[in-house]
Structure 1
Amino acid sequence: MKRYLLIIFTTVALLLGYTSDIFSQSNHTDLQDIDFFNLLVSTPNSVILDVQTAKEFKKCHIANAISAPQKKILLKICDTLSIESDIFIYCFHGERSLFCQTLLDSLGFINVHNLKNGLDPALQNPIMNQYKSLIYFKE
């Protein structure tokens, strides 16, 4: 019985050590609009994932963004990416992108940056005028 308990405790300790090591490697951030765009323009070869609905994407999106309005589509896109890719993820209000950031974390991606509160406040922030050319907006 003692041997059985020792094996269980050792296994749990090893698993906890392994998972904490994985999470310590992740570089996931929730960024305010100006910080998100500053990092985006300074990170070459990054992947921009737009998780808005198709209707929202058609109305407004960041230049060169890949539309992933459904989980199934997002997972297909993720299959083509390295877990070390710099990924910038956003939606219109911030809820879906936060969910997707958690999903990408569970898949092992280590450099995921979420636009906190989404594109809506970014479009209304006068400080963001310097980045308006990166955002396609159709009224």
Structure 2
Amino acid sequence: MTDGPGFGNTLVYLSLLIQRRYAQICADHDLTTAQAQLLCTVKDQPRGMGELSQLLGLAKPGLSGLVDRTERRGLVQRVASDRDRRACTVISTPLGKEVGNALYADVAARLPDIFGHLPAADRRVLEELVAGVPTDCGD
């Protein structure tokens, strides 16, 4: 049995609501959504460019531009690899950690407001349902 197009449309609508709220939270921290995703990805762990490309779903030229722009703001920096001079790792600067942690806390506090009208029990059910969604959806 498959769900009708109504459920798919509902999911698209929910996605748009979440994306708009997330974009607003990012803007409140003077970040683009791409910069915010980069910061959150490297805030606790350095990442290689290949890994970042995969995690963020960006081609290497686009990722390089994103890292360049974020690096100019003093939020991340590239560190050359000891093993391969052609490779580098992206790390969060102290300012990047501060901004990333503030963003992370703000997202955790404000994004759930989309469902603030629901009773607590319904929000818990929604949280359980979302937690059951596979993270590998065959992309």
Tell me, yes or no, whether TM beats 0.5: no
Relative to the length of structure 2, the TM-score reads: 0.29
TM-score by length of 1: 0.29
Query: Whose helix proportion is higher, 1 or 2?
Result: 2
Greater strand proportion: 1
Q: Flag the structure with more relative contact order, 1 or 2, with Cα contacts below 8 A and sequence separation at least 6.
A: 1
